[in-house]
Structure 1
Amino acid sequence: MKRNQIILGLIISLVIALLAMTPFVLGYGNLKWNNIVLRTVYSFLNSLILWFGCLKFIYNKKLNKNIHSEIAKGVIAIVVLALFTNIMCDYILPKLFEHLRLTDDFPRIKRPGFLFLKCISQGLMYYFIILTQKTSEEKKNNQIELQRLKQAGLEANIISLKEQLSPHFLFNTLNTLSTLTKEKEAQDLIQELSKVYRYVLQYKEKNEATLNEELLLVNSYWYILKARFEDSISLQINLPDELKQSLIPPLTLQLLIENAVKHNIASEEKPLSIKIYVDSEFIIVENLLQPKRNSLNNSGSGLNNISLRYKLLLNKSIEINQYERLFQVKLPIINKL
């Protein structure tokens, strides 16, 4: 709750209270000043409860998480606040202010209904004002965050280019080695490594690749890992064919597999299992959680890199879940436009 919203609520409530008292001052010449003051306080508190109640509802994190529709949340907020204000101002406050009595224009039997409708209309106005403020504030913050992400992405690309050994050099060297060796296993390994670097060359300047192309990279990368770890690691991929034309930032799956192998124990006694599958609107990459000792305090720079690319390039967020024996990353499915 920001200071400017508190000040605005106080000002609006004071104006509403003064306007509400004008008919009484004009219509009842013999009305005592103490009654005018009490009625002003009455209207001021009525307005204040509605204003700060709307603020509380709009900025309530639990409510925002459980109710995604602003219309549904607004209806609930206004009705609840109107009932609460009705009880406060028509039943509790009169007992606190003995001189606060009902007027002849609104007999007691009619006043609760009138006040409830008044609170509904007032609450609707306040809710709209605060929601407009919040939307404008979020839009401004999103623009600032987008600029920050763009700047961070640019800096990351510059650093990456500075530290990168030329893939062209490695790719050409691997092709040369493949022609020199006679052993088929060595040739196959070099060819798969060449495919990995071919992919890096092809997509290093691009922001998107199809899932099918990414899976071809994963197959080559996994061949190389299997040559090293043999039966200590296993990979299960269960993705429908119709999903393979969706988009993904290049090297995302490869990086997640690399992180899983790098930070977890993979041995014959404790094999490391990795799965890639689809669940609702996400591609799930999960692995058994059996961390190495030196990985307990890892900063997770690879995951931060993936998260940054999804936010910067696609305006989407990934989900990272860690359970007792599983580590899971949920990648939003990005369909072609």
Structure 2
Amino acid sequence: MLSTLQRELEVVDSFFHLMQVRFGDRIQLERSLEPGCLDKKVPTLALQLLVENAIKHNVATDQAPVRICITATARGVEVANTITRPPQGVRSGQVGLRNLRERYQHLSRYQPEVLQQPDRFQVRLPYITAIRKEAYV
């Protein structure tokens, strides 16, 4: 249900390593972590889902690599990526984002914040400090 940010980053590192075998330097991952954030909690596989979406919904080229940045602050963690042209034939039903919102709704009173600009897509995830009582039912 919940994982520490440290564990989530380990999962992202493993997943990203596999993706780099396929895409090489056409995908890039940066991290910026404030001290004291690694023990904060987010839904399990939330970060991996967002990194996977960034790769799936963009075309990565040598001239325009997909840059993904994970930023953790005391308030939450953000996954942002550059927007390149979308791959042909890939449509978004926003299943991943909907799933993430539903998990947050089930676990806490907080919700992810999705921001889209012409050249950047970002999702801000609040940390979950206490699980809703209804989640145990």
Measured against the shorter chain, the TM-score band is 0.7 to 0.9
Aligned to 1:303: 97
Which aligned pairs between 1:250-265 and structure 2 lie closer than 5 A?
250-265=44-59
2:7 paired with 1:213: yes
Q: Report the TM-score, using the length of structure 2 for normalisation.
A: 0.87
Comparing both structures, which one devotes a greater share of its residues to strand? 2
Structure with more relative contact order (C-alpha pairs < 8 Å, separation 6 or more)? 2
From 75, 79, 90, the equivalent of 1:281 is 75
Distance 1:271 1:325 in 2: 12
Match of 1:324 among 101, 112, 118: 118
CA distance in 2, matches of 1:257, 1:300: 14
Contact preservation (8 Å) 1:307, 1:317: yes
The aligned amino acid for 1:321 is: L
- The structure that has the greater radius of gyration is 1
> Unaligned 5+ residue runs, structure 1?
1-206
Name 1:160's counterpart in structure 2: none
Unaligned runs of 5+ in 2: 132-137
For residues 260-294 of structure 1, what are the alpha-carbon distances to aligned partners after superposition, in whole Å with 9 as ceiling and x for unaligned? 00110111122110001035623111000114143
Matches of 1:326 and 1:304 in 2, distance apart?
Answer: 19
Which residue does the alignment assign to 1:135?
none
Q: What's the counterpart of residue 266 of structure 1?
A: 60
Which residue of 1 is the match for residue 16 of structure 2? 222
Partner of 1:294: 89
User: Could you tell me which amino acid in structure 2 is paired with residue 278 of structure 1?
Assistant: A
| Structure number having the greater helix percentage | 1
Preserved CA contact (<8 Å) 2:37 2:73? no
Is the CA contact (8 Å cut-off) linking 2:33 and 2:73 kept in structure 1?
no
Q: Secondary structure at the match of 1:243?
A: coil
Contact 1:247 1:336 in 2 (8 A): no
| Structure 1 position 255, deviation (Å) | 0.6
TM-score, normalised by the number of residues in structure 1: 0.37
Note the alpha carbon deviations across 1:31-73, whole angstroms, 9 max, x for none: xxxxxxxxxxxxxxxxxxxxxxxxxxxxxxxxxxxxxxxxxxx
One-letter amino acid of the structure 2 residue matched with residue 254 of structure 1 = Q
Aligned-residue Cα RMSD (Å) equals 1.7
Separation of aligned partners in 1, 2:24 and 2:54 = 16
Distance in 2 (CA, whole Å) between partners of 1:323 and 1:278 is: 20
Q: Is the 8 A contact 1:246 1:336 kept in 2?
A: no
